[in-house]
Amino acid sequence: MIKKAEILAALFVVLSLWTGSLRAGVITIYLTAEVTYVDDLYDLLGGKIAVGDIITGSYNYDSDTPDTNPSVTVGDYQHYDPPYGINLSTGTLAFQTDPDYVDFLSEILNDHTGIDGYLLRSYNNLPLPGDIEVEHISWQLGDYSMNALSSTALPTSPPVLEDWEDNYLLMSFGYKGSSMIGTTVTSAIPESATVLLLTLGGLALTKRRR
């Protein structure tokens, strides 16, 4: 039978890796979102996405990216190279940053005109089947109590969803983004947290089998 000390040792190692990976460098955040509305007037998607569908995926950014905005209440962190950007899928359709033409912005607002804000936006994206243009992929969080953030620094961990009043993940597509899919993000976890959960599950199975 696996010993308690062995479990604690394994957890210590995983947690060390987790916290270390969140300090700097490439950050990967996994998302789950639920579709709340579909505006597809010209039926470009052929009904492949409906309200209630689940969208999953991830986004990547570099926490060492410099802030290009001189404002003390706004931080702009621009990425122009892979692997940075966002990649989302419904199982039948994928919305993702074009890896050959990355233009991905992370914007942080802290006490800015009455709001804290967290914004991701991918401006250059791969087309959908049928060469349907994807204009923008964006995720916007807003907190009007201005308690969600304490600075404009680029976070090394995902936003705590409960801290935000507004939560919109949008994909605009078609001619000049004339059609749109709206979703609400229901979970946001770092890559290392996924590793931790898998490790915990593996340890539990090992214990039961022995």
Q: Are 156 and 126 in contact (CB under 8 A)?
A: no
Q: What's the pLDDT tens digit per position in 55-112? A: 999 999 999 999 999 999 999 999 999 999 999 999 889 999 999 999 999 999 999 9
Name, in order, each residue with C-beta under 8 angstroms of 6's C-beta and a sequence gap of 6 or more: none
Is-contact 74 94, C-beta < 8 A?
A: no
- Per this entry, what is the length of the chain? 210
Q: How many helices (H) and strands (E) does the chain have?
A: 2, 10
Q: Where are the domains of the chain?
A: 25-190
Helix (H) or strand (E) holding 205: helix 191-209
Instruction: Give the whole-angstrom CA distance, residue 171 versus residue 88.
Output: 10
Confidence of residue 124 (pLDDT cuts 50, 70, 90): very high
> Can you list the pairs that 41-45 forms with residues at least 24 positions away whose Cβ atoms lie under 8 Å?
41/178, 41/179, 42/174, 42/178, 42/179, 44/128, 44/130, 44/132, 44/173, 44/174, 44/179, 45/93, 45/128, 45/132, 45/179
Residue with tokens 């309200």: 51
Cα Dmax for the chain = 61
Between CA 80 and CA 83 the distance in angstroms is 9
Count of beta carbons in the 10 Å neighbourhood of residue 176: 8
- Predicted pLDDT of residue 177: 84
Which residues make beta-bridge pairs with 26? 62
Mean pLDDT, all residues of the chain? 86
Distances (CA, A) of 110 to 100, 135, 149, 185, 198: 32, 27, 6, 21, 35
pTM confidence score: 0.80
pLDDT of residue 74: 98
pLDDT of residue 66: 97
Could you read off the pLDDT of 128-155 as tens digits, one per residue? 999 999 999 999 999 999 999 999 999 9
